[in-house]
Amino acid sequence: MESILVQLDSRSYSIFIDQQVFANASNNTQIINEFKALAQDKKLLIVTNDTVAPLYLEQTKTLCQQSNASHIEVVVLPDGEQFKDMTHLNRIFDALLEKQYARDCMLMALGGGVIGDMTGFAAACYQRGVDFIQIPTTLLAQVDSSVGGKTAVNHTLGKNMIGSFHQPKLVLINTDFLNTLPDREFAAGMAEVIKYGLLWDQSFFEWLELNQEALKAKQPQVLIQAIKRCCEIKAEIVAQDETERGCRALLNLGHTFGHAIETGLGYGNWLHGEAVAAGMVMAFQTSQEMGWVSQQVVDRVTALISAFGLPTTKPEDFSGETMLALMQRDKKVQDGQLRLILPQAIGNTVVTSQAPQSVLSKVLSV
């Protein structure tokens, strides 16, 4: 069992990582005590989707019952990025209101990034803010979206444009959940794992290069080590900059490119991690065109991303002009200036508005 503390003063919380968190929870006094302190005598609402529910809902309900929760309800949403919208968010609010959940209730997100984002946003909004717990079931959610308190839904004109910062009270990461994760979803999660090495920690990137076969094989201890390092990096960044006024923006490496792909193709056609993978390569290509990194560095990054079967270019039928127009709607645009997270080396990134449009047009024309 590994544990990490996200240090945010009164909003600090623990992340627990284990191969079998649920199976071992009854033998771990720290988890049980934290869970009981949060859930005892409370009404709980578990939000999940129709893929995860048949696999892990009963385990989650058992854990809730062990915490002496007063009442448990469940909302099962359809699975997919295309359902991360206001219509499906309202199904969570409907359940809370119909069952007369008060401000002392607690929500639990059991699923990937979509479920985590929607549950967190519902918790941020309901009666101006209630508690919630993250139980991420995908690699992407375990290393990224479940930690740090970013919550949102999508709009047809932009991804994650409607949301709030709302920190969870606890994150439980069960790596055995990844055994039922489709290969494509696992690869998409690896894009976010690689991201942490590229933006913050060169030695971690090198470790990923050396351990890529063990990661593909989902060797438990290697997975735990990778997830732990990602969570440590994110916890460190979030502790410095909770609401993305400074260094937290670095976590968006590849995302401005990637969100444009997701929005332009229609949510769900490319997985988030797939779009981010291609976006990170384009970020390094932009830096290479600006003279910040060498072609050798670009090739090295491309090779590791390709090793996990991830895309390294935008879709062929997606024009550079369309993509650039979508990028101009990104949340990081300020005073009409498109700001990008660009690498100066592996493990060293900056937020900049210095990328010339001619460079971006060249990169996006490929």
CA distances 226 to 64, 65, 87, 337, Å, are 28, 31, 35, 35
Assess whether 272 carries a catalytic annotation.
yes
From the candidates 81, 195, 252, 331, which is the catalytic residue? 252
Among 185, 232, 242, 244, the active-site one is 244
Active-site residue among 150, 195, 331, 332?
150
Task: Name the active-site residue from 43, 159, 195, 248.
Answer: 248
Q: Could you tell me if 136 and 168 are in contact, meaning their C-beta atoms sit under 8 angstroms apart?
A: no
Q: Are strands 106-111 and 131-136 parallel, antiparallel or unpaired?
A: parallel
- Annotated active-site residue in 42, 195, 229, 272: 272
Active site residue 185: no
Whether 71 is catalytic is no
252 is catalytic: yes
Q: Which of 185, 192, 262, 274 is catalytic?
A: 192
Q: Catalytic: 166?
A: no
Question: Which residues does 27 contact at the CB level (< 8 Å), separation at least 6?
Answer: none
Amino acid at 264: G
Q: Considering the candidates 169, 195, 259, 339, report the single residue annotated as catalytic.
A: 259
Is 192 catalytic? The answer is yes
What b/e string do you get for 248-262 counting C-beta neighbours within 10 Å, with b at 16 or more?
A: bbbbbbbbbbbbbbb
Q: Which residue in 43, 169, 195, 234 is the catalytic one?
A: 234
Encode the chain in three state secondary structure: CEEEEECCHHHCEEEEEECCHHHHHCCCHHHHHHHHHHHCCCEEEEEEECCCHHHHHHHHHHHHHHCCCCEEEEEEECCCHHHCCHHHHHHHHHHHHHCCCCCCCEEEEEECHHHHHHHHHHHHHHHHCCEEEEEECCHHHHHHHCCCCEEEEEECCEEEEEEEECCCCEEEEEHHHHHHCCHHHHHHHHHHHHHHHHHCCHHHHHHHHHCHHHHHCCCHHHHHHHHHHHHHHHHHHHHHCCCCCCHHHHHHCCHHHHHHHHHHHCCCCCCHHHHHHHHHHHHHHHHHHCCCCCHHHHHHHHHHHHHCCCCCCCCCCCCHHHHHHHHCCCCCCECCECCEEEEEECCEEEEECCCCHHHHHHHHCC
Q: Is 128 one of the annotated active-site residues of the chain? A: yes
Active site residue 245: no
Closest by CA to 74, choosing from 56, 308, 14, 85, is 56
Is 150 a catalytic site residue?
yes
Among 84, 169, 195, 255, the one annotated catalytic: 255
Active site residue 234: yes
For the annotated catalytic residues, the residue numbers are 128, 150, 192, 234, 244, 248, 252, 255, 259, 272
